[in-house]
Amino acid sequence: MGLRNKLRKLERDAQEEMIEIPRGDGTVARFPQSAGLEAFMALMDGRDHPLAKAARNSSEPKWSGSFYNAFPMEELEDLSEP
26: left (phi over 0), alpha (psi -120 to 50) or beta: left
pLDDT of residue 72: 62
pLDDT of residue 73: 59
pLDDT of residue 14: 64
> Of 18, 20, 16, whose CA–CA distance to 62 is shortest?
20
In the chain, the N- to C-terminal Cα span, in Å, equals: 71
pLDDT of residue 21: 92
**Domain residue limits, the chain:** 17-69
65: left (phi over 0), alpha (psi -120 to 50) or beta: alpha
pLDDT of residue 4: 85
pLDDT of residue 22: 93
pTM, entire model = 0.67
pLDDT in tens, the chain (82 residues): 688 888 887 777 666 678 989 988 889 999 998 898 999 898 888 888 999 999 988 989 988 888 888 766 566 677 777 6
